[in-house]
Structure 1
């Protein structure tokens, strides 16, 4: 008991010596693990959780802690968060935990920095522009949604799962139909990958994290095989996204595979969660749902039997408001990892060089005292 107390006291002294003066108030928590476990404690997506609520009440909107193995500044201040994100690569850099590097790979767009990040980001943005300019994309979306809804026809209960968006992404990126064997393998491995992505990073046989790392390797192997097959018959005309990335000579094969994996991850995770969130909120908001239907039906009347295109979707102003409000209320991305490249002073806050910074989007979105600059239609009725 005495040894444990001595070790705890020594650790607290270690933290105290390393902490510069004038940093925001807060608590560094337990030795080594800090307050990470309490910070990651599950909570409802329409709340900030008890940990943040208690700390904001005690210390204010900006406080210090020890999270993910590093001394950390946690911020719910909208201006400070914007300042951090707007000074990427100048004052702050992306700084995800080592375990995330292991599971995403060293060429992931979430982890690379500087010119490499800009280059991969531009390649990924080509996917968006390719889809927007392709009538086939909108046809594929319509076809997939109709087929999915048709399968619900005689069901008493509908389960809105994530496979829908992954099927669409696999089709658009890799030109594979959902029933193709390679598409089935990708889906199976992605289910394993995502379970481990949000698990404790323990690399031991049988753990979810280890299974996820292995699943990523299998996905990469499948994608690489598809890319190799396409290389043989690479077309001069850039018809789809695979043509685009294969013709980009600035990319090595590892970066091509990693870019595809990043896009699949985005389609499987964030986009599918947004769809689920919109459906959930609309189920509680009959007036909003009716307004949404009226907007869609009006555009549909003007199109007669012609398929919808990008211009039609851009006219759906109320629909865009619904999506934005669902993003705010649902808080799909709750925070991001950044690290200070140098000592930073901002609005009286001191952020020491090398400290991690966590801008908490959830806390800003759900702050009842914060007035939004552009009022949106409330998705959840009072």
Structure 2
């Protein structure tokens, strides 16, 4: 018995030792994991920089401050995300959006400087969702796209061809709208602008398409501004699915036109196809993407501005006699939260350093609603433009961007808006019958729509 017990003692201690070893291994793993996580969080909160980063917060690991950025604000005022941080940190601050470090700037002088450094200190950058939907083009193709856009939608084309067509289209559109019990202006304006642009780009070759392209574009923008999670049920996923369908429709148009070279329409698509013989980068996919991009830029910004103009003019009837409406609507509209650049090298600013590779968001909404430059900035006051200094306009008013890369379709948008408003205020009256709520999340949206009853003025 004693011998048997003696033989069992070493085995018992071996079991204890094994358990102790496993516990030590477990504790070591936990300790290493804790060190890794602590180091990760420290590096997240304190990104590498050769100088001092602007003040701000990097938010939670992995998601940054993305959730705070997209919180809706039931006002035309600045989103709380921007307003709170500008008040706390000043006009230039750091943050993190969807895991990407970002500098947000609402400093007019710095923005003015930055936008004149394209290709030197900064370059154009797109959010991840935009990058998926809008292919990143080469420098030569960007120049070609800009030249092509100015050729077909620029000042000369507006004077020689587009203005009369715009006026006819606006008159016909308002005539149809006035025959309806009421019109949801934002959605109807998307249809109007998409159809008109499509006629200029590819002569309306999608008129008999199985899907309504203007309806598809209405859902596209929501997804572009959503959190980039590509799983069924998310706005991002829906956006990418719509993008595929729209591109497929446009690809069919291009292939039919290529298959029948004698079928010329004198439109933008014909121009591109002719250039395929001389420009090696112009392939079928490039043509499809270019057509898609041109339609997109005409769809949301103009329609949102028009819807906002309906509301503001209805609430301020005295303004109907004023001819300087458009700038004020564009100032208050701030359709996009801003536009983006990427630092090509370290950029010093106000004693801080913006590291190479970081994204910079120029917050146009913060410029347009700056109380130091625009007295009572939330008020709709077209008369303010009579006394505003040119320097304020150049540095604090950027509805279409600024610098060397200002939107090539800026004049097209202004003329279309001016033509529409001219016909509207001279020949029609309107009253809101439903909706009217405005939300920034972070772009301007009208969750209940703007439903108006439109009627012709009696002679």
Same fold (TM over 0.5): yes
Q: 1:42 aligns with which of 51, 65, 72?
A: 72
Question: Match for residue 342 of structure 1?
Answer: 345
User: How many positions carry a matched residue from both structures?
Assistant: 340
Task: Give CA deviations for 1:16-72 in whole Å, capped at 9, x if unaligned.
Answer: 553324221111111121112112222256311212111111111111112232222
Question: Match for residue 149 of structure 1?
Answer: 174
Structure 1 gaps of 5+ residues are: 292-317, 377-382
Distance 2:233 2:81 in 1: 31
User: Once the 2 structures are TM-superposed, how far is the Cα of residue 363 of structure 1 from its aligned partner?
Assistant: 0.6
Q: Secondary structure at 1:337's aligned position in 2? A: strand
Structure with larger Rg = 2
Q: Which structure 2 residues correspond to residues 151-230 of structure 1 after superposition, within 5 A?
A: 151-160=176-185, 161=187, 162-176=190-204, 180-182=207-209, 184-230=211-257
Q: 1:257 aligns with which of 255, 277, 288?
A: 288
Distance 2:84 2:128 in 1: 28
Question: Match for residue 315 of structure 1?
Answer: none
The farther-off stretch of 265-274 and 13-22 is: 13-22
Change over 3 Å in CA distance of 1:158–1:218 after alignment to 2:
closer
Q: 2:137 aligns with which of 98, 107, 112?
A: 112
Distance 1:336 1:220 in 2: 25
**Aligned partners of 2:272 and 2:287 also within 8 Å:** yes
Q: 2:365 aligns with which of 362, 365, 368?
A: 362
**Aligned partners of 2:339 and 2:361 also within 8 Å:** yes
Structure 2 gaps of 5+ residues are: 1-29, 375-387, 394-459
Task: Give CA deviations for 1:104-126 in whole Å, capped at 9, x if unaligned.
Answer: 3x2xxxx4353332222222222
Change over 3 Å in CA distance of 1:200–1:73 after alignment to 2:
closer
User: Once the 2 structures are TM-superposed, how far is the Cα of residue 92 of structure 1 from its aligned partner?
Assistant: 1.0
Q: Secondary structure at 2:143's aligned position in 1? A: helix
User: Once the 2 structures are TM-superposed, how far is the Cα of residue 229 of structure 1 from its aligned partner?
Assistant: 2.2
Task: Give CA deviations for 1:147-205 in whole Å, capped at 9, x if unaligned.
Answer: 32223335453321221111111122121178x22285323432343342233322223
**Aligned partners of 1:72 and 1:357 also within 8 Å:** yes
Question: Match for residue 389 of structure 2?
Answer: 373
**Is 1:13 the equivalent of 2:5?**
no
Which aligned runs of 4 or more in structure 1 are off by greater than 6 angstroms?
2-8
Distance 1:151 1:63 in 2: 49
Q: 1:246 aligns with which of 262, 268, 273?
A: 273
**Aligned partners of 2:257 and 2:263 also within 8 Å:** no
Q: 1:132 aligns with which of 158, 162, 166?
A: 158
- TM-score (norm. length: structure 2): 0.67
